[in-house]
Chain A
Amino acid sequence: MNTMINQIRTEVAKVVVGQEKMIDGLLIGLLCEGHILIEGIPGLAKTTTVKALSQTLGLGFKRVQFTPDLLPSDILGAEVYDPQNNTFKIKHGPIFTNLLLADEINRAPAKVQSALLEVMQERQVTLGDESFKLPPPFLVMATQNPIENEGVYPLPEAQLDRFMLKIKVGYNTPEEELSIARRVASGVNEAIHAVMDAQALIELKETVKKVHIDEEVERYMIDLITATREPERYGLAEIKRYLQFGASPRVSIDMFKAVRAEAFLKGKEFVTPSDIAAIIKELMRHRIVLSYEAEAEGVTADELIEKIIKAVAIP
């Protein structure tokens, strides 16, 4: 099965240099049916990666650029009046796809964000009297730009919780940057081939579900979640003042899924604590609510997660 994953990586690598963390995160999202929030400055191949991934998987892909004047119907679709038949017709929006790239999601007002996030949760759209199930797999990959504050509508914590992973995309290494520049300058674009289809993806998902998690490791994961709520129980009383709310039960659910996928991507049949450590920041950083004191002192969620990992006993 890992051959297929390697093939996907090889195909994506034809257009995207580096950014393995983002690619792995997207694959985990695909394998676990979890939505992904990608944060990074413009120009880091966020859109290219998602597009390449959809081509590799032979899945439908649509992109919506979120703007302040966007309406829910621009995403979901609407009932349109047909004067010839004197009836209303359903016009599907771009949401009816497998992979939806919601570019700069925080530029749209709350009502659009809510409409999208509701669909993300229910995987179903209701237009007029009719409800439409979205074709599986359905995955939203939303991007947001961390450097702009004006004219943006930050996602509320409850909505952020619906994203399984929040991936921070950083700059490429100098070697990767050189490779990108050379590749673009040469003007040679390799064609991306579909290496699997929807059915193969379903089979992959089933395989991921079979990745074993030992009970000790399961308890370890629960301990990590609990440490975000009651840090003093794990000798982390000093970070309690930085945490307003800990991770929700949805984090536990997603963690159990994501660590399996993480181990699977590494070609393992069981989950080890290092798999948890590899994915825990992406799972939690947007789901723990920091206090005002943390913001004032410049303490980040990632720093708190690192402290928790170091404090909780490893099985």
Chain B
Amino acid sequence: MKRSLGRLLAVWLVLSAAVFGANYQWSVLKSPASLRVEEAGVVQYQCTFSDSAAEYTIDFKPKSTEAYKVEVLTQRDRVTSGKRIQTFDVLITPLKTGELSVALKALVRHTTFASIENATIGRDNVKRYDFIDESAALPIVRIRAEENSADLTGQITLEAKIDKNMVRAHEPVHLSLYLRGKGNLDRFVPYELNISGVKVFAEAPQKNLTPSSEGFDGEIRQEFALVSEKNFVIAPFELSVFDTASRKMLTLKTSAFAVEVGEGYEPQMLLDPPDLSDGATLKRYGLYAALIVLGALLCETVRRLWKRRPRRRPKQFWDGAKSHKELAMLLALSGDKRYEEVIADLEEGRAGLSEAKKKLSTLHTPNEVSK
């Protein structure tokens, strides 16, 4: 009986080590007591294992609700004094006023060393790790969400610039609007600019943002091109912000810009009028004219010379004949009746080779190529 009990105990120890593995515990290290609506705050969760827990994985994908938005900002993993500690910085952004009860869950996945070994070696019947999943409820965090009527929340600056404040009619003025800092910059609504008598060309905002403990950090730039025939004024841009540093509502405002619009360009204004009273200018223009005439003359000369160039006569089949006999044979072989007289001249000695060749060239038109 004692032996059986001992065996049972041994089996239980092995199984508990293999199946249940290490213990773990979730805790909250840091959390804000209160936040404004749309103000992001960091809640720090920590999971502490009883040992190194190498066969554990935490799959933490918290879900947002109607009351708050939640995102994992950072995740750190370390082993201290033989214990594995995983820390998660979670960004909570309240969406409604009132008491928020943030109750998140994480999936704790436990595998075995045998499974790791099988999957690593790549045994035929093993495709991936085997896990035993367990849903862990994280400690509930309570945050008070206060009202916030500001357009944006965070530490934000607003700046507007124009490239010039004096233009000619139809010449564009470029207006650049910069929104910089940190906070919920992702909630920025692009400005719509309407100025009477001014054509406004607006570009989509260029966002250069990175996630941060305040929500987002970076810059948003919005560009406008303004075209008008008359003077106009660009009214100041306003933005209400809840400043998280001073915990106060602020109104950011840019300065107004008055743009003076002059007369438009006329075609003759685009070129400098030649100063004909200046001798150097006249000389320069004279040189230009001479160069044009000279170029035309040169082209005409080249054209005429090209026309008069010695044309290469098309190669004729009789060109290779080295004797009058050979020439007569080649001509007879061609079967062309036009050559009969030349053949007779050659055979009767009335014409030599060169004479006959000259005569033959007269029988063909310049463009005709003998067979």
Contacts and interface: CB of A to CB of B under 8 A. Distances in A.
The answer to whether A and B assemble together is: yes
Contacts of B337: 20-21
Interface string A145-156: 000000000000
B341 to A, nearest CB: 11
A152 to B, nearest CB: 26
Contact of A266 (B323, B329, B330, B340): B340
A117 interface: no
Max count, chain A CB within 10 A of own CB: residue among B326, B335, B337, B344: B335
Given A273-B325, A274-B347, A306 B332 contact: no
Nearest to A315: B325
Q: For chain A, what secondary structure do more than half of its interface residues adopt (helix, strand, loop), or is it mixed?
A: helix
A272 B333 CA distance: 13
Given A21-B335, A272-B347, A277 B329 contact: yes
Interface string A278-298: 101100000000000000000
A265 to B, nearest CB: 10
A272 B62 CA distance: 114
Chain B interface size, under 10 / 10 to 19 / 20 to 34 / 35 or more? 10 to 19
Q: For chain B, what secondary structure do more than half of its interface residues adopt (helix, strand, loop), or is it mixed?
A: helix
A79 interface: no
A275 B329 contact: no
B347 A306 contact: no
Max count, chain B CB within 10 A of own CB: residue among A21, A275, A281, A314: A314
Interface in B321-371: 323, 325-326, 328-333, 335, 337, 340, 343-344, 346-347
Nearest to A21: B335
Contacts of B331: 274
B343 A274 contact: yes
Nearest to A280: B333
A277 B325 contact: no
Contacts of B347: 272, 274
A303 B326 CA distance: 17
Contacts of B344: 266
Given A266-B340, A272-B347, A278 B335 contact: yes
Max count, chain A CB within 10 A of own CB: residue among B325, B329, B344: B329
A277 B336 CA distance: 12
A306 B333 contact: yes
A276 B323 CA distance: 17
B335 A275 contact: no
A309 B329 contact: yes
B22 to A, nearest CB: 87
Nearest to A18: B337
11 contacts: A20-B337, A21-B337, A272-B328, A273-B325, A273-B328, A273-B329, A273-B332, A275-B332, A276-B332, A278-B335, A309-B333
